[in-house]
């Protein structure tokens, strides 16, 4: 991740790569506040078809990063069709009549660029990094597949099989991924955050051409997208190119996104998973906590600071207690995933040393959590944690991708450009008492799932059959 936090969940590693705050944006352009006046100017405007456009000028090299963020993710999968949003991340690379098969990525590569995509519960994003004079090419490619995707039966069947194989490789054959998936399902009760983004295998198999066409028509539209361009460009250049490419794609009628009221959890959930392919036992606990979109001012920032203090690096409290001092664990860490439309999650994990039980690791972890709930953090530790978070975010401005991601990820879940820019300032303002408060109010056992991942005990060998004498 961009921040120097130790990450257990692979999904959080990916999501965390988009945390770096950058600059302030308004309808035209605005100079950032004095405290952040080193930030570049950022421009925002909208096309007539409803597409929102954000431009982040970066003159250091003649290259650009284009990111197209769609407001559709795993939460938008229809009942019984989990994984449909992720399936469409794949389908968008199946081609159109004009750019058939894998010619999209081949065209980007021939022009010296690279491309990829990713899906979360809340959004799907596609990106290309390429020389600035090739920006119109990749805009044309994206606009084409936004309007003219080839959804033939053959393409749908082929990509459905690809996704099923991906699930087998990355989830079904990975014990840690299975633990994560099961804990997520238990944590979120009726909320679609409990469905895996990749989908359940039995439901993926039900995806057909009709379902794919309906999903594409009502989600992959310019009025459901945010275009972010970072690089050696001006707002006027991007506006002209965007209008020429995306402006031709008509707006469509969208499916309204559902608002979910999460039911209260009346007790904690515990899972113990034993599998013969487990090579590394793991203790993990995930709490359902407030996110940046639903927290009171300063709460989400305090959770970010708490995660850094508790398990963000080798100087953190959990790592020092379990790995360095007590020598119970080979690794330990904490992460906070707060960039969501609905609730966030706060995860702790520890990997035991040989001979150490998971219950002992859990008890030692609970003792560290209790320290933060009973008293404010040490001022020196707090200052170091905040400095680390802000410094890591600052370093990310060296990456066009991170800058574009910071804006896209915030805007697509309903935050503002001001939230992106002011994040370092808000982190610096986090008070010791606020860290203690969120530790006590958010890390509640009834709002958690605790997981043990253990190797399956070897079965005793079957007794050898009695030897019989041969008789003539």
* 16 in a structural domain: no
Residue 93 and residue 234 share a domain:
yes
Q: Tens digits of per-residue pLDDT, 144-201?
A: 999 999 999 999 999 999 999 999 999 999 999 999 999 999 999 999 999 999 999 9
* 214 in a structural domain: yes
Backbone angles phi, psi at 122, to 5 degrees: -105, -20
Q: Tens digits of per-residue pLDDT, 381-407?
A: 999 999 999 998 888 778 999 999 999
Residue 279 and residue 196 share a domain:
no
pLDDT of residue 341: 96
* 285 in a structural domain: yes
Number of other CB atoms surrounding residue 60 within 10 Å: 9
Name the residue range of residue 182's domain.
Answer: 50-248
CATH number at 167 reads 3.30.830.10
Residue 309 and residue 213 share a domain:
no
As for how many domains the chain has, the answer is 2
Strand 52-57 with 225-231, pairing? parallel
Give the residue ranges of the chain where pLDDT is below 70.
Answer: 1-40, 458-472
Furthest CA-CA distance within the chain? 104
Would residue 89 show up in a list of annotated catalytic residues for this protein?
yes
- Out of 213, 248, 283, a domain closes at 248
pLDDT of residue 463: 53
Residue 214 and residue 141 share a domain:
yes
pLDDT of residue 395: 84
Residue 104 and residue 59 share a domain:
yes
Annotated catalytic residue, options 38, 89, 128, 243 = 89
Residue 273 and residue 211 share a domain:
no
Number of other CB atoms surrounding residue 130 within 10 Å: 21
Residue 438 and residue 339 share a domain:
yes
Name which of 228, 281, 208 is nearest 454 in CA terms.
Answer: 281
Name which of 222, 226, 217, 246 is nearest 84 in CA terms.
Answer: 217
Name which of 157, 66, 23, 111 is nearest 425 in CA terms.
Answer: 23
pLDDT of residue 318: 98
pLDDT of residue 398: 83
Query: How far does Cα 40 stand from its chain's mean position?
Result: 26
Residue 274 and residue 305 share a domain:
yes
* 469 in a structural domain: no
Residue 273 and residue 194 share a domain:
no
Read off the pTM: 0.88
At 317, list the tokens.
């409290």
Residue 305 and residue 193 share a domain:
no
């Amino acid at each position: 991740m961009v921040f120097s936090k130790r990450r257990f969940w692979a999904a959080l590693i990916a999501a965390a790569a988009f945390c770096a705050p950058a600059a302030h944006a308004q309808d035209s352009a605005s100079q950032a506040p004095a405290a952040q006046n080193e930030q570049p100017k950022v421009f925002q405007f909208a096309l007539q078809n409803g597409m929102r456009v954000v431009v982040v000028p970066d003159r250091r090299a003649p290259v650009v990063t284009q990111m197209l963020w769609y407001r559709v993710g795993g939460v938008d999968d229809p009942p019984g069709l989990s994984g449909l949003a992720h399936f469409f991340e794949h389908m968008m690379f199946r081609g159109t009549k004009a750019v058939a098969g894998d010619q999209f990525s081949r065209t980007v590569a021939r022009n010296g660029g690279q491309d990829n995509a990713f899906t979360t519960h809340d959004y799907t994003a596609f990106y290309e990094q390429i020389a600035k004079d090739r920006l119109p090419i990749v805009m044309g490619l994206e606009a084409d597949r936004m309007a003219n995707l080839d959804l033939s039966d053959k393409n749908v069947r082929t990509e459905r099989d690809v996704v099923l194989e991906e699930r087998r490789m990355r989830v079904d054959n990975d014990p840690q991924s299975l633990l994560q998936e099961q804990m997520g399902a238990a944590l979120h009760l009726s909320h679609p955050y409990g469905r895996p983004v990749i989908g359940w295998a039995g439901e993926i198999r039900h995806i057909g051409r009709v379902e794919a066409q309906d999903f594409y028509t009502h989600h992959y539209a310019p009025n459901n997208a945010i275009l972010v361009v970072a690089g050696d460009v001006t707002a006027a250049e991007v506006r002209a190119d965007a209008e020429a490419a995306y402006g031709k794609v008509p707006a469509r009628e969208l499916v309204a996104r559902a608002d979910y009221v999460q039911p209260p959890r009346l007790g904690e959930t515990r899972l113990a998973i034993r599998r013969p392919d487990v090579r590394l036992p793991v203790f993990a606990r995930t709490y359902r906590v407030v996110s940046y979109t639903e927290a009171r001012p300063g709460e989400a920032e305090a959770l970010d600071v708490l995660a850094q203090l508790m398990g963000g690096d080798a100087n953190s409290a959990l790592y020092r207690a379990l790995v360095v001092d007590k020598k119970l664990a080979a690794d330990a860490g904490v992460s906070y995933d707060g960039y969501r439309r609905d609730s966030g999650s706060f995860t702790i994990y520890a990997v035991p040393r040989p001979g150490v039980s998971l219950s002992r690791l859990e008890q030692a972890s609970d003792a560290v959590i209790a320290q933060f709930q009973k008293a404010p953090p040490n001022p020196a530790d707090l200052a170091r944690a905040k400095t680390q978070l802000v410094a890591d975010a600052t370093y990310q401005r060296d990456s066009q991708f991170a800058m574009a991601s910071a804006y896209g990820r915030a805007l697509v879940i309903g935050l503002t450009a001001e939230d992106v820019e002011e994040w370092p300032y808000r982190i610096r303002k986090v008070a010791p008492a606020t860290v203690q408060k969120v530790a006590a109010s958010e890390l509640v056992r009834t709002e958690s799932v605790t997981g043990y991942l253990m190797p399956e005990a070897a079965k005793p060998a079957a007794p050898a059959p009695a030897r019989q004498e041969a008789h003539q």
